């Protein structure tokens, strides 16, 4: 698919780096000091709004823009933790979000969004993107399924099999020196504490990945925890049954 030269409107106090980056990728950029009116945007393919500043209310900007531009394609550049705006635009077929992280704004991704709008994608493109983005929602089936796997293996399987091995099988002891030290000092409560800390850290990474549409950050935590839990449970079971020793 080929694209004509996109024409992008740019609004935001921290948008200088965006203008430079988009221009370097062959996009015609017009910067605005305030939210432009419909006449100013008549030849614009999409409006990029940088609301990543700490004092900027992204939802308020979205509402103000939509009051003047009901169907204008919008691309919001937000702070990584900007979840309220994501909720506000989730049902808008002509609005998307690009995160500004500590490493800056992914200009390649922003440029791609602008070029797609310039190609006439609009609602159909957003629908396709939204379908993919639904994979990264923290309330989706995939999210619960992955974490059910992690809880069943690492949270329950390893926990139960470890206790059975230690309490009911003579001669077995905890092989992990860190877990052993915690068990000796704090008992079962300490063992539970280790698992809570692991799950809390992994869950935080997974939710962060979901909000950033980062497939690796989303999938990796529960999968890794689940694989480790499966391996530990199988090993404990083999020890308990005397298959290995």
Starting from the edge strand earliest in sequence, which strands make up the sheet with 46-50, in order?
28-32, 7-11, 46-50, 74-79, 95-100
Encode pLDDT of 112-133 as tens digits.
888 877 765 444 434 444 444 4
Encode pLDDT of 47-70 as tens digits.
998 888 766 778 888 888 888 888
pLDDT over 60 at 137, yes or no:
no
90 closest CA partner among 138, 51, 56: 138
Q: What is the mean pLDDT of the chain?
A: 82
* Residue 118 CA to its chain's centroid (Å): 26
CA distance 215 to 192: 29
Q: Where are the domains of the chain?
A: 7-134, 141-241
> Mean of the pLDDT values across residues 33-55?
81
> Mean of the pLDDT values across residues 215-228?
91
Q: Which CATH architecture has domain 7-134?
A: 3-Layer(aba) Sandwich (3.40)
CA distance 45 to 179: 58
Largest CA distance in the chain: 82
């Amino acid at each position: 698919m080929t694209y004509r030269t996109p024409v992008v409107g740019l609004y935001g106090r921290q948008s200088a780096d965006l203008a430079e980056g988009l221009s370097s990728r062959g996009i015609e950029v017009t910067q605005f000091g305030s939210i432009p009116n419909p006449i100013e945007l008549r030849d614009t393919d999409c409006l990029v709004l940088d609301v990543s500043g700490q004092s900027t209310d992204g939802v308020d900007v979205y509402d103000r823009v939509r009051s003047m531009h009901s169907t204008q394609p919008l691309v919001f550049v937000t702070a990584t933790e900007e979840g309220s705006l994501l909720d506000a635009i989730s049902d808008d077929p002509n609005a998307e979000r690009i995160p500004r992280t500590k490493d800056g704004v992914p200009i390649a991704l922003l440029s791609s969004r602008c070029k797609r709008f310039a190609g006439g994608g609009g609602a159909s493109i957003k629908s396709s993107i939204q379908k993919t983005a639904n994979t990264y929602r923290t309330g989706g089936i995939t999210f619960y399924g992955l974490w059910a796997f992690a809880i069943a293996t690492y949270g329950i399987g390893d926990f139960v099999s470890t206790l059975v091995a230690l309490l009911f099988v003579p001669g077995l002891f905890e092989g992990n020196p860190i877990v052993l030290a915690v068990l000796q000092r704090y008992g079962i409560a300490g063992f539970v504490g280790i698992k809570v800390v692991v799950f809390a850290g992994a869950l935080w990474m997974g939710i962060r990945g979901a909000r950033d549409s980062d497939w690796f950050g989303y999938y990796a935590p529960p999968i890794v925890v689940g694989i480790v839990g499966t391996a530990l449970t199988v090993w404990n079971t083999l020890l308990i049954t005397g298959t290995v020793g």
